[in-house]
Chain A
Amino acid sequence: DAKTTQPPSMDCAEGRAANLPCNHSTISGNEYVYWYRQIHSQGPQYIIHGLKNNETNEMASLIITEDRKSSTLILPHATLRDTAVYYCIVRVAEETSGSRLTFGEGTQLTVNP
């Protein structure tokens, strides 16, 4: 799986958009970009994933650059409950139910009141 690079920490004001960057310059053509987050002392939570097109769901938007070497996760209106460690993971989507994930250090997002 391709390696990802994320800033160790970021701060955001409540109600503002949080933009979390991720570099994955060695990504292969069949690798997806996944985002998970982990609130303190809980299991990780899936947020969103994409291959090359921008994606949006009820939680966030994912913007992938045209060369796919970097991406940005956008939380449009951050709340205090969005304070968590955000992990950007790049991997191939396997055809079976096995889909191991390799977690890097992630970005600690702190949303301030």
Chain B
Amino acid sequence: GAVVSQHPSRVICKSGTSVKIECRSLDFQATTMFWYRQFPKQSLMLMATSNEGSKATYEQGVEKDKFLINHASLTLSTLTVTSAHPEDSSFYICSAGGQLRQFFGPGTRLTVL
């Protein structure tokens, strides 16, 4: 099946720094990718829809200036958490796919100290 990768798998950073997370579709092209966030013992929450060549669409309550999304090619979307704070510590997951199913990346565990 199709593969979606994420890098890094785990990152620890200091409060106030920015962190970039990459999401790649390895064997297919994706004009749209999705970014989710998952806090401990909770379900996945959609943060934003990443659109190749255009601006991302953010869900209500998600700050677009804090969570910068760039989808510069058909195989790569990046999520940058700017000025990270401890409350941004979470599991970030991306997905990409086609008409009938989505393929998820393995996730990135972000810990902000």
Chain A residues close to B by CB (< 8 Å): 32, 34, 36, 38, 41-46, 49, 87, 93-106
Our pick among B32, B102, B105 for the contact of A96 (Cβ within 8 Å) is: B32
Chain B interface helix/strand/loop/mixed: strand
Assembled-state Cα–Cα distance A66/B32 (Å): 34
Minimum Cβ distance to chain B for residue A5 (Å): 14
Cβ–Cβ contact A103 & B43, under 8 A: yes
- Which positions in B face A, CB cutoff 8 Å? 1, 4, 6, 30-32, 34, 36, 43-46, 49, 91, 93, 95-107, 109
CA distance A97 to B4 in the complex (A): 14
Bound CA–CA A99/B100 (angstroms): 8
Chain B residues near A43: list those with CB within 8 A. Answer: 4, 6, 93, 95, 104-107
**Is B107 within 8 A of A97, CB to CB?**
no
Residue in A42, A43, A96, A100 whose Cβ sees the most chain B Cβ within 10 Å: A43
If the complex has contacts A96-B31, A97-B30, A100-B46, are A44 and B101 also in contact, measured as CB distance less than 8 A? no
What A residues does B97 contact at CB under 8 A?
97, 99
Contacts of B34 in A (CB 8 A): 100-101
Cβ 8 A contact of A42, one of B31, B49, B98, B106: B106
Chain B residues positioned under 8 Å from A101 (CB to CB): 34, 44, 46, 95, 102
Contact B104 A45 (CB under 8 A): yes
Cα(A87)–Cα(B44), bound, Å: 10
A105 shortest CB reach to chain B, Å:
5
Say yes or no: A46 contacts B102, CB within 8 Å: yes
**What's the minimum C-beta distance from B59 to chain A, rounded to whole angstroms?**
9
Contact of A104 with B99 in the complex, beta carbons under 8 Å: no
